[in-house]
Amino acid sequence: MKGTTFSHYLELYALRGAVAILRKLSFRRAGDVGEWIGALIYSPFGIRRAVVERQVRAAFPGLAEPEVLRISRESYGNLGRTSIETAVLPKYSKDEIMGLFGAIEGWDVLEEALSRGRGVIIVSGHLGNWEMGAAYVAARTPRLEAVARGMQNPMFEAYLTETREQLSVHVIHDSEAVKRVPRSLRDNGVVAFLFDQGAAGLASTWVPFFGRYAKTPRGPAVFALRLNTPVIFTCAVREPNGKYSMKFEEVVVPRTGERERDVDAIVSAYTDTLERWVRKYPEQYFWQHRRWKHQRPGTPPELGDPS
């Protein structure tokens, strides 16, 4: 495979070996192992620990230091659990996947949006277990496609794509999105986007996220305006009883005729929605990503990248 290195092969084969063992465990037990691994990465290894703690402090100014450390530590556990749960999920049937969920809020919102016949754009962030959320939607809809960015390790990217396809989550690589997304929406399909990682150039815009401007992908907003498609925000978060809950809510799509202003308003709206849910479940957010790495020109130092 083009661009692969020896370390890429080692990473892939180590992952496949670990997954083969973990798939023999129950779903909850496998997740517990993932949480334990995540905890090790936080301490003693401390990988990106300072980045996470600084970002949590910046997002929640005035938060007591023990609480900052708790959220940071638990975010690693959640990331480890999410990674392992995703790896073992393909062994479960659609009914079994749905059985891993408890409360589902707003599924009727998605059904009503689909009834309009113009497809549905789902937007979500790296909160809770986003891969499980996609698997749940795929289990209950005729076809789900998800736009995904390329990864540094092409072998791992191919493995993750294979895992998603096994869950009936059909991957659209971002380089193909301009052609494939409109085709899917015109066929009344469902297309999902993860929008909370920085993007460069014209594909993104600046919107506030926890009081700091963050470079945010605008693709979902552009497609929604161009194709008159409804936008639904969703997230799958883990509850204290071990089950996941799922939330669906429609994002307002203004159409004032001023395209750039409308795009920015939509991006701001779905970013505000994500922030609201992250505030409810901060320990389940992917703080390991430097969300404010790209800075808007003229940003004062106190509102710049805290990492």
| 5-19, 69-83, 210-224: least confident range | 5-19
CB atoms closer than 10 angstroms to residue 217? 22
Residue 190 scores a pLDDT above 90: yes
Domain boundaries, the chain: 6-303
CB burial of residue 124 (10 Å; 0-12, 13-18, 19+): buried
Helix (H) or strand (E) holding 153: none
pTM above 0.85, yes or no: yes
Q: Measured between alpha carbons, how far is residue 200 from residues 89, 147, 296 in Å?
A: 32, 16, 11
Give the tens place of pLDDT for each residue, 48-62.
Answer: 999 999 999 999 999
Q: Measured between alpha carbons, how far is residue 24 from residues 8, 18, 81, 85 in Å?
A: 25, 10, 16, 12
Token pair, residue 106, equals: 């707003």
| 77-86, 115-124, 146-155: least confident range | 146-155
Determine the average pLDDT of the residues in 6-26: 68
Res 107: pLDDT: 98
Res 295: pLDDT: 86
Res 11: pLDDT: 55
Token pair, residue 18, equals: 């670990």
The pLDDT mean for the chain works out to 91
Residue where the block lists tokens 């891969």: 131
Return the sign of the alpha-carbon dihedral for residues 284, 289, 290, 292. Answer: negative
Do you find a cis peptide bond into 44, omega within 30 degrees of 0? yes
* Residue % of the chain over a pLDDT of 70: 93
Residue where the block lists tokens 């798939």: 23
Residue 197 scores a pLDDT above 90: no
Cβ within 8 Å of residue 79, ≥6 positions away: 38, 41, 286, 288
Residue 3 scores a pLDDT above 70: no
Res 133: pLDDT: 97
Give the tens place of pLDDT for each residue, 127-184.
Answer: 999 999 999 999 999 999 999 987 777 777 888 889 999 999 999 998 899 999 999 9
Cβ within 8 Å of residue 261, ≥6 positions away: none
Res 155: pLDDT: 74
